[in-house]
Amino acid sequence: MKTFRLLFLSALMALSLTACVPAEYDPLGLFQTSGTSSPSYTEESSYYGLPANYAEFRDRCQTACQSPYGAAKMYFDAVFCYMDSRTRSEGSKMLRFIMHEKQGWERSPNFSMFAQRMRDPKQQHIFRSFAEGTSPENDYSMDPNNYQLMMGELVEDAGYLRLFLYSSGSDSARPIWVKQFDDGLWYVINVVSTYAGVREPYSTKNHYGHDASYDGYRR
């Protein structure tokens, strides 16, 4: 009886560790559970870093976007490509693809603030805040070629799914909307929460102008 009880408790513990990532949304085993019980995207493929161009991005999406979590990761890859002036043109096409938008999306009033904040170095920390290990104290420092998102639960909502993401500059999780289209891939169709304001980086507020320990955070 004691042995059976131990086996039963072990089984319950194993189920609790995997429950936060629904199996139907992780058919390729692309995700692992972080210490905060939030799914973290893990690239199992042979590639490393941001895609070099739109063609490479689109190829990656054929695998990654079989899951809502993968679509979120590809969206942020596209954002970071757009933020870099050297890859902005390709990043624009990447965002057009992952958001399932038409050519000229940047000129739409719906996306004017989004595009402006990606181009503005003083606002780019908003997007970096979604990466693990960032904080206002470290100026939201992260490596776009090697990062993980802080992901939370998926909630069904009128034919779409809301995927909650965590920002180190916000007190609450922020939802993005994802949808699966006829090609079987998931796309990100509402990203407003990803460019809403977050707490300012400490270096820009100059809290510690007297303290040389913080000199490395200033730009």
Beta bridge partners of 180: 186
Question: Mean pLDDT, to the nearest integer, of 21-42?
Answer: 38
pLDDT at 63: 95
**How much of the chain, in percent, has pLDDT values that exceed 90?**
66
Name the pLDDT band for 16 (thresholds 50, 70, 90): very low
- pLDDT at site 142: 96
Asked whether 143 and 176 are in contact (CB, 8 A), the reply is no
Instruction: Say yes or no to pLDDT of 173 above 70.
Output: yes
- 74-106 pLDDT per residue, tens: 999 999 999 999 999 999 999 999 999 999 999
pLDDT digits (tens, 9 = 90+) for 185-201: 999 999 999 999 999 99
pLDDT, position 125: 97
Could you give the percent of the chain with pLDDT greater than 70?
A: 72
pTM for the model stands at 0.75
Q: What is the pLDDT of residues 134-158, one digit of tens each?
A: 999 999 999 999 999 999 999 998 8
pLDDT value at residue 48: 74
